């Protein structure tokens, strides 16, 4: 059985006090959500404060990015994965399409960040997904399998239970245009097959694959009915405690 994961990606929103206020509002609303893992990803500056205030709760903390380097050093502006762990994170998101698009992250960089996160003991949420143009050209599967193979190169069998894949079609992020449950299911099943070929059937069967892209309280239930959709990575609708709690409590 794959335990679902509902993760909120707060992107570059909220000050420290706003982040703490949202986290504290969320806490009682999801306290009984035993059917899934609940994760929120505040900005770097708010991680420690939010983690401190959520200690002992069922909400886990993710960072939205980490350095490719594993140990400290002269890398101005970067934050190492072990520092995120030290600040209270259990997870880190890597390879989000906004990072690929605006900060030119390649699969090679994603792979190094994944390795750095694993070495620090974090669980990695690796994002993949095609653009609208790539989908219209019939290249969606090729793009996604290339991102999976390139971004997750060099993993050992023991790393795999700390890998979560998030399929986020770029054309569905922040656009209000969700992939249909069938479109998402089709790609999730494909990702699982790619994983089975590269690793093992058992690893593929236990891999959690999240859908992301305009997930809202009113579309989560239909997405979660699909057999290969194991949760969601939620952007806009995670910024508000009530709407994110509705998504978490989709059952």
Q: Which residues are catalytic?
A: 96, 168
User: In the set 61, 144, 170, 173, which binds ligand PGA (CB under 6 A)?
Assistant: 173
Q: Alpha helices, DSSP H only, in the chain?
A: 16-29, 47-54, 81-86, 97-102, 107-119, 132-136, 140-151, 181-198, 201-206, 220-224, 241-248
**Stretch touching ligand PGA by CB under 6 A, among 73-81, 128-136, 186-194, 232-240:** 232-240
Task: Determine if 212 is a binding residue for ligand PGA (CB under 6 A).
Answer: yes
**Stretch touching ligand PGA by CB under 6 A, among 78-86, 133-141, 150-158, 227-235:** 227-235
> 114, 66, 109: which is closest to 87 by C-alpha?
66
User: In the set 235, 241, 245, 248, which binds ligand PGA (CB under 6 A)?
Assistant: 235
Residue 233 CB, nearest approach to ligand PGA (Å): 5
Length of the chain: 251
Residue 28 CB, nearest approach to ligand PGA (Å): 23
Query: Are the beta carbons of 156 and 119 closer than 8 angstroms?
Result: no
The DSSP H or E segment spanning 13 is none
In the bound state with ligand PGA, the residue whose beta carbon lies nearer, of 203 and 229, is 229
Cα(30)–Cα(170) distance, integer angstroms: 28
Residue 93 CB, nearest approach to ligand PGA (Å): 8
Residue 104 CB, nearest approach to ligand PGA (Å): 18
User: In the set 87, 229, 234, 241, which binds ligand PGA (CB under 6 A)?
Assistant: 234
In the bound state with ligand PGA, the residue whose beta carbon lies nearer, of 204 and 214, is 214
138 Cβ contact list (under 8 Å, min separation 6): none
User: In the set 28, 121, 154, 174, which binds ligand PGA (CB under 6 A)?
Assistant: 174
Phi then psi dihedrals of residue 9, to 5 deg: -100, 105
When CB distances to ligand PGA are compared, the closest residue is: 235
In the bound state with ligand PGA, the residue whose beta carbon lies nearer, of 147 and 203, is 147
**Stretch touching ligand PGA by CB under 6 A, among 105-113, 130-138, 141-149, 213-221:** 213-221
Torsion of CA 175, 180, 181, 182, to 10 degrees: -140
Angle between helical axes of 140-151 and 181-198 (0-180°, round to 10): 40
Query: Are the beta carbons of 198 and 151 closer than 8 angstroms?
Result: no
Of residues 99 through 158, those in contact with ligand PGA by CB under 6 A are none
Residue 219 CB, nearest approach to ligand PGA (Å): 10
Structure tokens that stand for 84 in this block: 């995120």
- Report the interface residues with ligand PGA, using CB under 6 A: 9, 168, 173-174, 212-215, 233-237
């Amino acid at each position: 059985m794959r335990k679902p994961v509902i993760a909120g990606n707060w992107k570059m929103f909220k000050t420290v006090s706003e982040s703490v206020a949202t986290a504290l509002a969320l806490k009682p609303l999801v306290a009984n959500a035993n059917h899934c893992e609940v994760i929120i990803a505040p900005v770097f500056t708010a991680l420690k404060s939010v983690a401190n205030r959520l200690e002992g709760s069922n909400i886990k903390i993710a960072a939205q990015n980490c350095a490719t380097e594993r140990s400290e050093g002269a890398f101005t502006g970067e934050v190492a994965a072990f520092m995120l762990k030290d600040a209270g994170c259990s997870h880190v998101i890597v390879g989000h399409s906004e990072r690929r698009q605006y900060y030119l992250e390649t699969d090679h960089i994603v792979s190094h960040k994944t390795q750095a996160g694993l070495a620090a003991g974090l669980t990695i949420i690796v994002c993949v997904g095609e653009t609208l143009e790539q989908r219209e050209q019939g290249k969606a599967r090729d793009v996604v399998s290339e991102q999976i193979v390139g971004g997750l190169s060099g993993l050992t069998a023991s790393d795999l239970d700390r890998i979560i894949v998030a399929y986020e079609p770029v054309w569905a992020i922040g656009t209000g245009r969700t992939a249909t449950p069938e479109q998402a299911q089709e790609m999730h099943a494909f990702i699982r097959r790619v994983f089975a070929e590269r690793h093992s059937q058992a690893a593929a069967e236990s891999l959690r694959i999240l859908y992301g892209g305009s997930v809202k309280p009113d579309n989560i239930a239909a997405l979660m009915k699909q057999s290969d959709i194991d949760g969601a990575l939620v952007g806009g609708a995670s910024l508000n405690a009530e709407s994110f709690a509705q998504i978490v409590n989709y059952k």
